[in-house]
Amino acid sequence: MPRFPDAWMGELLSKADLVSLVSAYVPLKPKGGRMWGCCPFHNEKTPSFSVVPDKQFYYCFGCHEGGGAVQFVMEMEKLSYVDAVKWLAQRVGMELPEEVDDASIRQERAVKERIYAANKEAAHYFFDCLMCEQGKTAQAYLVRRGLDSKVVKRFGLGYAPAGWENLTRFLTDKDFTKEELIRAGLAIKGKKDGECYDAFRDRIIFPIIDTSGRVLGFGARTMGDDTPKYINTGDTPVYNKRRHVYGLNLLKRKKLADVIMVEGYMDVIRLVKAGVENTVAGLGTALTTEQARLLKRYVPAVYLCYDGDGAGQNAALRGLDILAKEELDVRVIVIPGEMDPDDYVRAHGAEAFLALKEKALPRNAFKLETMARRYDLGTPDGREGFAKEACALAGGFEPVERERYAPLIARKTGLSLSTVQAQCGLSQEGAAHSVSNYRHTKPKESGKNDGADKTAIMLLSCMLVSKEGALAVVGKLADMDMDFPAEIADFADVLLAAYMQSDMPDIPLLLSAQQGDKAEIIAAAQVQTNDIADPVRTATDYVLAMRKDRINARIRILGEVTPLAGEQAFADALAEMNALQKELAALQS
């Protein structure tokens, strides 16, 4: 199994928050210092699945599944260890380390490096085309849109000239193969073998750049009435539009309180040019969970500012809960007159836009305002319909929010506040989560790892509590001339080696390298650590109990030896039994 560098793996685990990871599959609620939910690995109605946030491990008291982030992904997504690590790295936006000695990873990295190189050359080519004579029409278009050379250079804008093989010829002359260009999304495979043609032709080009400065792909806009208006790089080994955000590369070194999320490339460029620099955009798709997680790494709050038409406002509605689920503070900037941010800033300026930001609506206020627009509040039926739907929504709010929004509903409907409050109080929570609805849920018999010796688990718990506890276990086992129980032996050696390096080893990191039953036993041992007040005393008691159990088991075996086994064998059995009984008596005194 490939070994990933400890420093890289530690960073991955610190970013791959286990509570957030698990919450994507099953809802969790806090209780007693842990997060609890119905187990995603077996069907149950009463939650027995727990996540310990500060120690970054999970354990189910029903089916005894346990582990850390890597094991959870392996189980839920049915992935190998290496693929689970890749999955997590992609989720948190980390590149795989170069030090890993694995042929498939080396090959994958080589493919990606060629794509990055081709994209970089393509970006330079498009920029040069924009700035030369053949880009005059594109330059005029950008000027009409209010852009100058400074902002063009800042965003690396370019122009893909008309024609079928301009970029293809340019890059093949630089020793890129046609297969590499197709894989990068820069060219499209032709009908005949070995043929391809440029993916972008006679369009303004918007490079999509990550926070490391690498060109991932491109967006391309027509300057006329061609459809579609925008085309974008499809999925490639280095780019997936669900996982990236346009414009974030310009913000990575800035300490920001929030970002403004808009819909399009031109919205970002226009706002940045006007001085509203903390602006980013999606990439031709509705806002995704992956984008929300990416933004969370940089800011605590997000302002959605989508187009003012119905489609834009509906998109904002869909994005609200995605952002809130990632614990981002989210608000909505409402642009009047169904304008988009680009047009509004051009017409009214940055100060007017920032004034709209100051009046941005909280998530639930925007939901209620949007809901109200669907009803004719000038009629009794419209007011009643809105009141019922709004109260049903507000019934799921936290009590403080119910108190806040009940007066708003009352004002819009003309109902008394007491009536609205009563209706909100009677509302039911949203549809209950059923673990059986998850695509990865599987029936699982409880009792997994019931065969794991309790003494072994408790000894490992003592070792996990502290270095002192670990050394006590080793010392007591040596005193009794015993080895670690088989089920914990490998990890106990790993843990001891870690204690030799540090008094506080990185347990989540050590856990991440374990698989199958070993990870589950470690998680079971972790569960017990909070109940161990004195690891040395506990280790002594359990080693002693283990020795007694082994003596009793050996005595039972010796007791089955009869004279029929032979005179010498019978005598040896009696002698060993007498010695063991004396040892047992001494241990019990």
User: So what's the pLDDT on residue 483?
Assistant: 82
Which has more pLDDT, 203 or 555? 203
User: So what's the pLDDT on residue 140?
Assistant: 95
Chain CA centroid to CA 95, Å: 15
Length of the chain in terms of residues written: 589
Rounded Cα–Cα distance for residues 361 and 301 (Å) = 13
The mean per-residue pLDDT over the stretch 68-79 comes to 89
Q: Are 261 and 302 in contact (CB under 8 A)?
A: yes
For residue 29, the surrounding DSSP H or E stretch is: strand 29-31
Rounded Cα–Cα distance for residues 201 and 224 (Å) = 12
The mean per-residue pLDDT over the stretch 81-100 comes to 83
What is the pTM for the complete model shown? 0.66
Q: DSSP strand E in 178-299: where?
A: 187-189, 196-198, 203-209, 215-222, 230-232, 259-262, 279-281
User: So what's the pLDDT on residue 589?
Assistant: 67
Which range scores top for mean pLDDT: 270-274, 339-343, 378-382, 573-577?
270-274
Q: What is the C-alpha radius of gyration for the chain, rounded to an integer number of angstroms? A: 32
The mean per-residue pLDDT over the stretch 218-224 comes to 93
DSSP state letter for 45: S
Q: How many CA atoms lie within 13 A of 70 on its CB side?
A: 23
356-377 burial: b if 16+ Cβ within 10 Å, else e: beeebbbbbbbbbebbbeebee
CA–CA distance from 129 to each of 122, 150, 184, 217, 262 (Å)?
Answer: 10, 17, 20, 17, 28
Q: Are 94 and 85 in contact (CB under 8 A)?
A: no
Token pair, residue 75, equals 């189980």
Q: For residue 332, with 0-12 CB atoms within 10 Å meaning exposed, 13-18 middle and 19 or more buried, which class applies?
A: buried
Q: Are 584 and 551 in contact (CB under 8 A)?
A: yes
User: So what's the pLDDT on residue 197?
Assistant: 94
Which range among 108-117, 219-228, 499-508 shows the weakest confidence by mean pLDDT?
499-508
Has residue 565 got a pLDDT over 80? no
| pLDDT tens per residue, range 269-325 | 999 999 999 999 998 778 888 899 889 888 999 999 988 777 778 888 888 988 988
Average pLDDT value for the chain: 86
pLDDT tier, 2 (very low <50, low <70, confident <90, very high otherwise): low
Closest to 537 (Cα-Cα) out of 490, 582, 494, 476: 476
Rounded Cα–Cα distance for residues 582 and 287 (Å) = 73
- In the three-class reduction of DSSP (H, G, I as helix; E, B as strand; rest coil), residue 235 is classed as coil
> 468: how many CB neighbours lie within 10 A of its CB?
15
Which range scores top for mean pLDDT: 73-82, 349-358, 514-523?
349-358
User: So what's the pLDDT on residue 248?
Assistant: 92
CA–CA distance from 487 to each of 421, 478, 518, 520, 522 (Å)?
Answer: 58, 18, 7, 11, 10
pLDDT tier, 200 (very low <50, low <70, confident <90, very high otherwise): very high
Token pair, residue 202, equals 């006679």
pLDDT tier, 557 (very low <50, low <70, confident <90, very high otherwise): confident
User: So what's the pLDDT on residue 438?
Assistant: 37
CA–CA distance from 175 to each of 122, 161, 181, 346, 468 (Å)?
Answer: 13, 21, 11, 44, 61
Rounded Cα–Cα distance for residues 64 and 76 (Å) = 15
Question: Residue with structure tokens 């009869």?
Answer: 562
Q: Are 206 and 155 in contact (CB under 8 A)?
A: yes
User: So what's the pLDDT on residue 434?
Assistant: 35
Which range among 167-181, 182-196, 210-224, 507-521 shows the weakest confidence by mean pLDDT?
507-521
User: So what's the pLDDT on residue 38?
Assistant: 92
User: So what's the pLDDT on residue 233?
Assistant: 94
pLDDT tier, 42 (very low <50, low <70, confident <90, very high otherwise): confident
* Percent share of the chain, pLDDT over 90: 32
Token pair, residue 287, equals 């806002």
User: So what's the pLDDT on residue 180?
Assistant: 94
Which range scores top for mean pLDDT: 86-100, 357-371, 548-562?
357-371
Rounded Cα–Cα distance for residues 450 and 107 (Å) = 42
- In the three-class reduction of DSSP (H, G, I as helix; E, B as strand; rest coil), residue 207 is classed as strand
Has residue 230 got a pLDDT over 70? yes
Q: Are 134 and 143 in contact (CB under 8 A)?
A: no
Q: How many CA atoms lie within 13 A of 495 on its CB side?
A: 27
Rounded Cα–Cα distance for residues 336 and 359 (Å) = 12
Rounded Cα–Cα distance for residues 29 and 517 (Å) = 27
Cis peptide upstream of residue 228 (ω within 30 degrees of 0): yes
Q: Are 2 and 105 in contact (CB under 8 A)?
A: yes
Token pair, residue 94, equals 């980390």
Residues 6+ apart with CB under 8 A from 483: 477, 489
Which range among 41-55, 356-370, 443-457, 502-516 shows the weakest confidence by mean pLDDT?
443-457
Q: For residue 131, with 0-12 CB atoms within 10 Å meaning exposed, 13-18 middle and 19 or more buried, which class applies?
A: middle
Question: Residue with structure tokens 């359990």?
Answer: 542
| pLDDT tens per residue, range 416-455 | 888 888 888 743 443 333 333 333 434 344 444 444 578 8
Q: How many CA atoms lie within 13 A of 179 on its CB side?
A: 3
The mean per-residue pLDDT over the stretch 477-500 comes to 84
Residues 6+ apart with CB under 8 A from 171: 118, 121, 122, 125, 181, 186
